[in-house]
Amino acid sequence: MKTFFRIENGFLQAGQCDDKSQVPEGWTETGNHDIYKYNNQEEDWFDIIGSSIEPIEEDERIRRGIQFDKRGTYYNKETREEKKVTMLDEDIDEDIFTKEVPIENELYQLFDKGKWVIDTEKKERAEKEKELGQLKAQVNEAERKIIRPLRAKLKNRADEEDANRFDELDSFIESLRPRITELEVELKSA
């Protein structure tokens, strides 16, 4: 079986045939019988001298700039989700993914102007939400603890310890309320 090739519109066309007389004009016979495996591949991928045609090795195609090596780990610019590219020809949308590694141990970040930066707005909001949650939990706990001294006061059974405990917890609760209100207003307006 003889192997033939031609370049058409910048792409390799290859085939095999027993009889050269059956091969249309414009095809070149080659001794490289494996070339048909590369049918429809770009012409740039081959060194062609007369009837000699050899595929250019992957590393050499990369060195010449014919093919680009995009293998590696990419990160979604919105979610930071990893995507592994393991094949040389695998397409990766660089508008969506970057090879730039996100900031380690930072929950609040965004990709801006080619690099990862801390998303200060989201981080500040999260910190305020966390602080508000902690303050509300402290108020809830103090309110739970104030019930016994309050009941004692209402039933006129409160001793000095009950009265002091009630006043202490009530003052503590009231001291937290301005900051809670401040945080709630800030979070609503943000």
Element (H, E) at 61: helix 58-64
Enumerate residue ranges in the chain where pLDDT < 50.
none
Nearest to 82 by CA among 69, 95, 68, 96: 96
- In tens, the pLDDT along 75-94 reads 999 999 999 999 887 889 99
CA distance 187 to 190: 5
d(CA 168, CA 166): 5
- pLDDT for res 134: 97
The rounded distance, in Å, linking the Cα atoms of 19 and 42 is 27
Q: Give the span between the Cα atoms of 112 and 93, in whole angstroms.
A: 17
Provide the pairing of β-strand 28-30 with 11-17: unpaired
**Alpha-carbon gap, residue 84 to 19, rounded angstroms:** 47
Q: Where are the domains of the chain?
A: 2-64, 72-118, 121-189
Residue with tokens 């740039």: 44
Q: Both tokens of residue 12?
A: 């390799």
Q: Which two tokens stand for residue 24?
A: 């249309």
What type of residue is 84? K
The pLDDT of residue 106 is 94
Q: What's the pLDDT score for residue 80?
A: 95
Nearest in space to 166 (alpha carbons), one of 190, 145, 135: 145
Dihedral angle sign, alpha carbons of residues 130, 132, 134, 140: negative
* Other beta carbons within 10 Å of 18: 8
CA distance 33 to 53: 10
- pLDDT tens for residues 47-80? 988 888 999 998 998 898 888 889 999 999 999 9
H-type alpha helices, 102-190 = 120-154, 160-189
What pTM did the predictor assign? 0.61
